[in-house]
Structure 1
Amino acid sequence: MKEIERIIRVDHAGERGAIGVYSAQLLVARVLHKDLVIVLEEMLSHEREHYGTFSRLLKVRGIRHCYGLPLWALGGWVLGIITALLGRNAIWVCTNSIETTVLHHLKWQLAFLKLHDAEAHAAVLSIKKDEEAHQEMGQRNGRNSIIYQPIFWLVQRLTQFAIWLSTKL
């Protein structure tokens, strides 16, 4: 079913973008925000596991990856560098924004996959807990002042656009 292939492809691409974001934030944090290094390393390890989950599913099912994969890697890296240079609060606002958008998207996917594909449903469900933990970390540590609302909004729109574009590529 084409929709299931699209879901797996989009989630795979999204995880590649997340690896870019956390890798870049980690690079900057090693110099400017040393107290965040451990938590960013942990979140990056989660995203790498998720990427592996969807890579395996793509391979086993013979589904091609999203053609935009290099763009998501670069875009995630640029977003990660910019938010990390803007400060630790921008890192958390970025995390909260991305995960809020992703979790909304996963909710629809899980409802659809529950009815159509148990294996893909299990794969998506397996990442949900980590994504919720990342969102909660972002909400808990990020100040939601008026200064940071444009960052939240922009990151949310970029994430929505990346999801939409992944369905087309």
Structure 2
Amino acid sequence: MFKVVFVMVLEANYSLCTTVPLQLSSRAYSVVPTPRDSGEKDMLDRMMRVDHAGEYGANRIYAGQMAVLGRSRTGPLIQQMWDQEKKHLQKFNEILAENRVRPTALLPLWNIAGFVLGASTALLGKEGAMACTVAVEESISEHYNSQIRALMEKDPERYTELLQVIKEFRDEEMEHHDTGLEHDAETVLTYI
């Protein structure tokens, strides 16, 4: 259930990606290379927009979980995962700004929906929060894996730095996924 809601929001964000006129730049890039053409720009913009939306949503989910479980014994564990998500979101905020990519138009909805998803699953207790974490982190990891495959097929040397960021974040998302499993996510009756 949790994964279905999260995937629906990510897919909606993906479908809202629109074509943006190509703006080539002579400046050096930090992570994303200067696009060669409008097709490459569209692809990279979509990836960055989806990644930003996923990290934004994950941040709001952890904020909701902390609102309910922040003072419990589970609070420090959730806070640790949330701190990594904050780092991911900060990086994608920088990438969007550097590359003049607008965030998804669904951020206001995702702001509320993410918090409600996190808080409502945390009301089920630690196990509910961890089941949500497992589903969300699995979904984000799947998106990252798809992007890694796409970039590797295109030109792995050209996208070295971007691949490094995506792989690092994917690995941390999988750590969160595994942490959720280690903390009884599968004991929730609604766990799928």
Note if 1:26 corresponds to 2:104.
Answer: no
Query: Which residue of 120, 130, 145 corresponds with 2:172?
Result: 130
Superposed CA offset, 1:134-155 (max 9, x none): 0001111124247122xx4xxx
Q: CA deviation at 1:24?
A: 1.0
User: For 1:146 and 1:29, how far apart are their aligned partners in 2?
Assistant: 16
Contact 1:14 1:72 in 2 (8 A): no
Distance 1:124 1:143, change over 3 A: closer
1:51 and 2:89 correspond: yes
Question: Aligned-pair RMSD on alpha carbons?
Answer: 1.6
Aligned residue identity for 1:78: V
Q: Does 1:74 align with 2:116?
A: no
What is the aligned partner in structure 1 of residue 80 from structure 2?
42
Quote how far apart the aligned CAs of 1:121 are. Answer: 1.9
Map 1:58-97 onto structure 2 (within 5 A). Answer: 58-97=96-135
Is 1:119–2:157 an aligned residue pair?
no
Name the CA shift for 1:146/1:17 in 2 (closer, same or farther; >3 Å).
closer
Q: 2:136 aligns with which of 85, 95, 98?
A: 98
C-alpha distance in structure 2 between counterparts of 1:108 and 1:64, whole Å:
22
TM-score normalized by the length of structure 1:
0.81
Does structure 2 conserve the Cα–Cα contact (< 8 Å) formed by 1:93 and 1:138? yes
Cα deviation per residue 1:81-114 (whole Å; 9 max; x = unaligned)?
1001111111111111111122122111111123
For residues 133 and 106 of structure 2, the distance between their equivalents in structure 1, rounded to whole angstroms, comes to 21
Specify the SS of the correspondent of 1:106: helix
Aligned to 2:145: 107
Higher relative helix content: 1
Counterpart residue number, 2:190 = 148
Unaligned runs of at least 5 residues, structure 1:
153-169
The answer (yes or no) to whether the contact 1:17–1:72 under 8 Å persists in 2 is yes
Partner Cα separation in structure 1 for residue 106 and residue 165 of structure 2: 21
* SS of corresponding position for 2:105: coil
Give 5+ residue unaligned stretches, structure 2: 1-39
Describe the SS at the equivalent of 2:186.
Answer: coil
Q: Which residue matches 1:15?
A: 55
- Give the distance between the partners of 1:146 and 1:57, measured in 2 at CA: 37
* Identity across the alignment (%): 28
TM-score (norm 2): 0.72
Q: What's the CA shift for 1:119?
A: 3.3
